A and B are shown apart, each in its own frame.
Chain A
Amino acid sequence: MDKSITLPPDEIFRNLENAKRFAIDIGGSLTKLAYYSTVQHKVAKVRSFDHSAKETEGDPLYEISVQEEITARLHFIKFENAYIETCLDFIKDHLVNTETKVIKATGGGAYKFKDLIEKKLKLKVDKEDEMTCLIKGCNFVLKNIPHEAFVYAKHADSEFRFQNTHPDIFPYLLINIGSGVSIVKVEAEDKFERIGGSSIGGGTFWGLGALLTKTKRFDELLQLASKGQHTNVDMLVKDIYGGAYGSLGLTGDLIASSFGKSATTDKEFSKEDMAKSLLHMISNDIGQLACLYAKLHNLTRVYFGGFFIRGHPVTMHTITYSINFFTKGEVQALFLRHEGYLGAIGAFLKGAEEDNPNQYSWGENYAGSSGLMSVSPELNPVQRARSGTFDMLEMDRLERQLVNLPLLQDPTSYIPDTVELTEDALARVYWLYCFEEALDGVVKRAIASQKDQPEAVERAEKFRQKYRHKLQTLRHQPFAYGSLTVRSLLDTREHCLNEFNFPDPYSKIKQKENDMALKYYLKVVKSVEELSWEQRQFTLVKGLLAGNVFDWGAKAVSDVLESDPEFGFEQAKQQLQERPWLVDAYNQWIERLKGPPHKCALFFVDNSGIDIILGVFPFIRELLIRGTEVVLASNSGPALNDVTNSELQILTERIAAMDPVIHTALKEDRLALVQNGSSSPCLDLSRLDKVLATVVRERGTDLVIIEGMGRAIHTNYYAMLSCESLKLAVIKNSWLAERLGGKIFSVVFKYEVPSKAQG
């Protein structure tokens, strides 16, 4: 142990000052530290002025203030055991505000380092059962991290195929391949059983490998294996029978006997070949055992973890191959992105049970997390050199509990994202380029939003570096954070902006636009009222679409808006594509409107300003008049120029003050405002605020309207709902428009009615 190792600790042990609760998982070679900390960060708040006072012309609509908010965050750090003393010292020095007396510990190494930890940290080591921690951690990540599990396919276009979060994660089988193998059946949160195991595991590969090749390092053994030819050492079926053993269904290339050739040959075998043969032997054996246990217990979800698997494409490949072979493709080998942290997460959760961590939803913070396999030398030597031996995961406690939209036709098969960029190289290249291109604009906007703070420039620059680095990482490892989608790129950008205290760069612009749009509200409503029914419906839909042109998230539009702020509502309407639209279900929609009114419409709104005030409100006003209740779902936190729930509350009040229809609807509770639980410009219908789900259920919602590119095109374009739905957007990106077979400003107006059989 070398105390002189210099850590870049500020970047690694983040927020240590407020750390409250510690847990440590010490494995054979790696230590995983978990702590819970509070993060103080800036949030933008809006507040209505007191309107009883006389209004002065030119006063802003509402007040924007930046406040400090404290949120909870989970930090996980992984480092080699060699650094443990140095790390403990560092923690000791920075642990100022903690009242913690105890550190939860798990893992085989926990008892070895107990004294050291107690001496260094002056905390009492409280040992927790390793398997319980592992399972607790596994349940936690499966529930809380979207795309936690993936299938590995070495030769496919996309090596990693991420799985959707199942609403019900149980039952499953966990095959933990550490020194040995444990096979655990997990049936419920607190119900698991070790149903089997094997002594032929990672320790056997390492131990026998070391004896055979004189190579002492596990990673080097894997390296050797990846270069070897097992057929030089193994006896194949064809070595015995001269070909396949057809009547038994054994192909000639099947391994008949691992190391069978070394039994009778006197020649020397290469280290590479022996390592490869050993790897196959062990992986196949574990694969077969896993399959047999899965079959015996009737389980189809089988997750693999442990240091044998951890981030090693070589072992993931051989295990996957083995599972495919033995189950004839019926069972898929699943791996976990944060597999290395399970024990630490579980130990932490054990200690934090009084905080009820399971009552909250948690989200991975992309800004503070190393990606998948950031330490895998085979994949990205550059990054390995950079991030050294430290790997991090941060999870934010979300303020709200997130659940499925009850109206999803099949929650288990719902995939929010329309295009999976890890599988679509062309789209990936484009979008990564697109986000990189847009970065200057975002930085400029961020600085402009905090003109009064001179150090904003510096922070914005840090933001730029961080986000650019993430984009570069994603270029090399598209799978670093699970699925790669336009949504994840947008979300990562929001996380990075928040990280550097740019909580809402668009707040002032939104304020200005909202203010301006409100002035036109009555005029728009009046002009619509004068039209015939048919004309009125068309104008309302056009208004909705025209409003959606005002979107700072789309580069083409932000260019126009920056240079020409007078770009008005009417002009926007003219920009729209003439009917027939790119996707045009308008006639069906009108036919439907001629029928009885909907009971309740849930509207996922998009942008501030013209969009919400002159597009959405006149439209829902018509619905309200028809007798349909309306629920407006808006973002809980800021994202681009999307209207947030707190902004929408103020806007609605102001509109209600002008418009008796809205006023009455609010008073009679036929118009409700709810937050969606998200701070993303996109929409994941499987992670929505619990209150929203309740409202939707209680009101018998029978129409869902999703507006905007982020929510209706990048996500949910193919989402199947159990009630009628309207997805509408203007395509403000020429690349995407072309891909869909249209031009920029093409209109998507998708009206879907579920077939009765499924409803």
Chain B
Amino acid sequence: MALSGGAADRGSHSMDKSITLPPDEIFRNLENAKRFAIDIGGSLTKLAYYSTVQHKVAKVRSFDHSAKETDGDPLYEISVQEEITARLHFIKFENAYIETCLDFIKDHLVNTETKVIKATGGGAYKFKDLIEKKLKLKVDKEDEMTCLIKGCNFVLKNIPHEAFVYAKHADSEFRFQNTHPDIFPYLLINIGSGVSIVKVEAEDKFERIGGSSIGGGTFWGLGALLTKTKRFDELLQLASKGQHTNVDMLVKDIYGGAYGSLGLTGDLIASSFGKSATTDKEFSKEDMAKSLLHMISNDIGQLACLYAKLHNLTRVYFGGFFIRGHPVTMHTITYSINFFTKGEVQALFLRHEGYLGAIGAFLKGAEEDSNLTCWRWTVWIGS
């Protein structure tokens, strides 16, 4: 029942300082960076900072028309000027790079008056000392869930077409949703190591109404035990190649076909891993990974639907590292939601889902600076 940052730190022992970063392209405008926030999850670190950007703008200016007009004079004057605007930067990297990154930031942090870095995520308390030592900034921990929701509200409000529906076999895999003027209420299903189900009713009003211990960590953990494959991405790769019907017991395996009177089709999974209970044969890694993926996605899908129904909510967003950018999991979750709600509820995903915690933590810090709060942001997210 954890939040996004559950998974243990995969690479703290394998940090490699010799990795060369192309830092100029990544940590842009660091010289003027003012305000930092960091979200350290089980495997990924998300850094946010606010900076001023000096850039050229074309300006036009009318000539003074009270003066005598000369024929052939242009209508108005064009000039290129330097302008300073505010920009938010978000960077995501694997936890393995955290020390290298911190060193780089330290070296380039010249003009900042910042004394504090906002931190969130399950990893925040593990890396607290490292951050404080490297950056000489005080780590100020922010509640993970509050940051997540704040970030989510922020992207839903400020980024057009932030949310999308995933349809694997459609002409267009991603169907982006229009920004609703009123984003509330909605349900956020955050699938990290575990699952948190959060009902969000207003900017500052949310409640964790449910959760489950069967989440991304379970896919990863059980997957690792079953297939001896230790990497999450590889497990997803395996799953995308497997056939779950070799491992799962289907309705037709029990009844010889559909169970019509109960409305169960023959291909429905009756029992996840049911075939391995009584068969002695070896199962392929791919098949087991696929079966596991289905089991977990379907379970989360069903829970999401039940909570949505109980609380009368129709907008359900999915996030967390289990979802993040993985077509495989987006597909199985979408399938499950369609199955359980008979199409009444659509699974929605967020383009910038991975940054929610960092955005939220940043905003928490920015709230303390009244100047920033009422801005309307044009979002640039480095990716």
Contacts and interface: CB of A to CB of B under 8 A. Distances in A.
Interface of A: 28, 108, 111, 129, 131-132, 178-180, 182, 194, 196-204, 206-212, 216, 218, 233-235, 237, 239-242, 245, 247-250, 254-266, 269, 274, 280-281, 284-285, 288-289, 292-293, 295-296
Interface residues of B, number: 71
Nearest to B307: A292
A286 to B, nearest CB: 10
B193 interface: yes
A213 B309 CA distance: 38
A199 B196 CA distance: 21
Contact of A208 (B145, B262, B273, B310): B273
A207 B274 CA distance: 5
A248 B194 contact: no
Nearest to B262: A194
B263 A194 contact: yes
Nearest to A269: B225
A43 B269 CA distance: 55
Given A212-B226, A295-B310, A200 B221 contact: no
Contacts of B218: 257-260, 281
A292 B306 CA distance: 7
B327 to A, nearest CB: 21
Contacts of B226: 208, 211-212
B236 interface: no
B8 A263 contact: yes
A206 B277 contact: yes
Contacts of B270: 179-180, 199, 203
B160 interface: no
Given A179-B254, A289-B306, A212 B213 contact: no
A240 B5 contact: yes
B8 A200 contact: no
Contacts of A204: 271-274, 295
A111 B256 contact: yes
B249 interface: yes
A263 B220 contact: yes
User: Most A CB atoms within 10 A — which of B122, B224, B274, B307?
Assistant: B274
A257 B211 CA distance: 10
A263 B263 contact: no
B214 interface: yes
A268 to B, nearest CB: 10
Given A256-B213, A257-B2, A288-B210, A108 B145 contact: no
Contacts of B146: 247
B244 to A, nearest CB: 10
A248 B1 CA distance: 11
Interface string B191-220: 011101000000000001011111111101
Contacts of A242: 125
12 contacts: A108-B254, A132-B261, A204-B274, A206-B273, A206-B277, A208-B222, A212-B222, A235-B217, A247-B146, A257-B215, A262-B221, A296-B306
A415 B144 CA distance: 52
A250 to B, nearest CB: 6
B380 interface: no
Nearest to A111: B256
B238 to A, nearest CB: 15
Interface stretch (B98-106, B129-137, B297-305): B297-305
A197 B263 CA distance: 12
Contacts of A202: 271
A261 B2 CA distance: 13
Contacts of A28: 278
Contact of A260 (B6, B212, B269, B274): B6
A26 B211 CA distance: 37
B221 A258 contact: yes
A258 B217 contact: yes
A28 B302 CA distance: 26
Given A179-B249, A207-B249, A257-B217, 5 more contacts: A131-B261, A179-B271, A235-B7, A256-B217, A262-B222
A98 to B, nearest CB: 30
Contacts of B278: 28, 206
Nearest to A182: B262
B145 A247 contact: yes
A207 B1 contact: no
A256 B309 contact: no
B271 A203 contact: yes
A599 to B, nearest CB: 53
Contacts of A241: 122, 125
B298 A199 contact: yes
A180 B271 contact: yes
Contacts of B276: 207-208, 210-211
B247 interface: yes
User: Most B CB atoms within 10 A — which of A212, A234, A288, A289?
Assistant: A288
Nearest to B309: A296
A260 B307 contact: no
Contacts of B7: 235, 257, 260, 263-264
B360 to A, nearest CB: 14
B222 to A, nearest CB: 5
A263 B214 contact: no
B351 interface: no
Given A235-B217, A264-B10, A296 B193 contact: no
User: Most B CB atoms within 10 A — which of A198, A218, A240, A250?
Assistant: A240
Given A256-B194, A296-B306, A203 B249 contact: yes
B39 interface: no
User: Most A CB atoms within 10 A — which of B42, B256, B280, B298?
Assistant: B42
A196 B302 contact: yes
B263 to A, nearest CB: 7
Nearest to A234: B213
A204 B299 CA distance: 13
Interface in B294-332: 294-295, 298-299, 302-303, 306-307, 309-310
B34 interface: no
B143 interface: yes
B243 to A, nearest CB: 16
Contacts of A269: 225
Contacts of B225: 212, 259, 262, 269, 274
A240 B283 contact: no
A359 B37 CA distance: 73
Interface in B220-262: 220-226, 230, 232, 247-249, 254-256, 261-262
A111 B225 CA distance: 36
Contacts of B87: none
A288 B224 contact: no
A234 B1 CA distance: 11
Contacts of A284: 212-213
A78 B217 CA distance: 41
A203 B274 contact: yes
Contacts of A209: 277
Given A210-B276, A211-B288, A250-B1, A256 B271 contact: no
A152 B262 CA distance: 30
Given A179-B254, A204-B295, A281 B2 contact: no
Contacts of A132: 261
